[in-house]
């Protein structure tokens, strides 16, 4: 069931998303960040939220590049709720997986030498919802969402 989910997300049709960025090179991190920013602006997010979303995507893309070498960032508008449209960001990879999710969500914890250890916990703080599925040896999927605030 779980594996099916990762496969569906990684190999699923790209047309389900507004943006799909394959992360294979370091430059792709900035590309994903830039595209997320554009889409968030299109949806009408405030500048503060656009910055939060772009930063979160930057963190997610870098995690893919660092730990899994390659994967995908997939982003789509969520317009079902007219009063509060949103943006969904999915980061998926078939990397080594995370043995202890609670540990990696601990602020300051990192296995990377040059890192503050606040990437994933930061994403969780910046976005409205955050779910992570990971299995050692299989891969990791992070699903997050941000809703536009109604004024």
Partner 1 sequence: MMSFEDRVVPIMQVNGYLLVPIQIDLDDRTVGLLQQQLLKEIERTRAKAVILDVRMVEVIDSYISYTLSETAAMARLMGCRTVLCGIQPPVALTLAQMGVVLQEVTVARNLEHALVLAGSFQERDRGV
Residues of this chain that interact with partner 1 (CB under 8 A) are 26-27, 29-30, 33-34, 37, 47-48, 50-52, 54-55, 58-59, 62, 107, 114-116, 118-119, 121-122, 125-126
Q: Judged by CB, which is closer to partner 1: 58, or 140?
A: 58
Q: Judged by CB, which is closer to partner 1: 50, or 143?
A: 50
Residue 137: CB minimum distance to partner 1, A:
26
Q: Judged by CB, which is closer to partner 1: 7, or 55?
A: 55
Q: Judged by CB, which is closer to partner 1: 10, or 118?
A: 118
Cβ proximity of 94 and 6 under 8 Å = yes
Cβ proximity of 101 and 121 under 8 Å = no
Q: Report how far residue 121's alpha carbon sits from residue 113's, in angstroms, rounded to the nearest whole number.
A: 17
b (16+ CB within 10 A) / e for 120-148: bbbbbebbeebebbbeeebbbbbbbbbbb
Residue 128: CB minimum distance to partner 1, A:
12
Q: Report how far residue 45's alpha carbon sits from residue 126's, in angstroms, rounded to the nearest whole number.
A: 13
Q: Report how far residue 1's alpha carbon sits from residue 147's, in angstroms, rounded to the nearest whole number.
A: 28
Residue 30: CB minimum distance to partner 1, A:
4
Residue 82: CB minimum distance to partner 1, A:
26
């Amino acid at each position: 069931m779980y594996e099916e989910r990762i496969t569906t997300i990684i190999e699923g049709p790209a047309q389900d998303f507004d943006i799909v960025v394959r992360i294979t090179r370091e430059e792709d991190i900035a590309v994903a960040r830039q595209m997320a920013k554009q889409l968030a602006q299109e949806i009408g997010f405030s500048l503060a939220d656009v910055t939060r979303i772009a930063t979160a995507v930057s963190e997610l893309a870098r995690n893919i590049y660092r730990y899994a070498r390659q994967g995908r960032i997939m982003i789509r508008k969520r317009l079902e709720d007219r009063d509060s449209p949103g943006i969904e960001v999915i980061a998926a990879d078939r990397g080594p997986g995370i043995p202890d999710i609670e540990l990696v969500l601990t602020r300051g914890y990192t296995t990377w030498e040059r890192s503050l250890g606040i990437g994933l916990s930061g994403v969780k703080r910046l976005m409205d919802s955050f779910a992570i599925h990971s299995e050692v040896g299989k891969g990791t999927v992070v699903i997050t969402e941000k809703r536009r605030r109604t004024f």
